[in-house]
Amino acid sequence: MDTLLIATQNRHKVGEMVELLAGLTVQVITLADVEPGWDIPETGLTFMENARQKAVAAAKKTGLLTLADDSGLAVDALQGEPGVHSKRFAPSDEQRIAKLLGLLEGVPAAQRSARFHCAVAIADPDAVLTEIEETVEGVILTAPRGEGGFGYDPVFEPVGYTLTLAEMSMEAKNAISHRGKALRRAADFLHGWLGPH
């Protein structure tokens, strides 16, 4: 059986990814399995640059087929911030949300549009095999709602829905989310790349 390395130490992300890649006949492992504590620096100016950096570095170091993603939130009223700094915006999810809501205090609902981006790169030790980008549009609420998800999910309400991503079931969230859409495309690519077993 082929091995697919997911280049992350983020256990929330791994849980979502394993579920979305469930149809693949691969053994899925993470950086925590092969190199505990190894965090690949994200120095790119775009989500895709960061995803590519992580996929290439991990594939070269381990010799394994590697999938890496970079994702984050871009808020129009903040000129696209936190963007690629979404994870580094503040030390914890609660602090990130508090900082975001503080910056948006007084901004009317009509001007609180935002989107989640997800960039996925798949590489082997020799080359980047494919790159995928997806988004989900929504608005930033004035207070968090819901216990599920992670990151900014409790304050992000997708367009056309009355629930935040944190109020949705994992299945419902994955059906519409930036990461769900990107990883379904990644799974399709990997099915073709790995071929029948």
Any idea which residues carry the catalytic annotation? Answer: 70
Rounded distance between C-alpha atoms, residue 166 and residue 145, angstroms: 7
**d(C-alpha 179, C-alpha 120), whole Å:** 9
What's the token pair of residue 156? 């992000």
Q: By three-state DSSP, how is residue 177 classified?
A: coil
Residues in the chain: 197
CB-based burial of residue 9 (10 Å sphere; 0-12 exposed, 13-18 middle, 19+ buried)? middle
Closest to 170 (Cα-Cα) out of 26, 30, 12: 12
Nearest to 89 by CA among 104, 76, 99: 99
Q: Which residues, 6+ apart, have CB-to-CB distance to 20 below 8 Å?
A: 174, 179, 180, 183, 184, 187
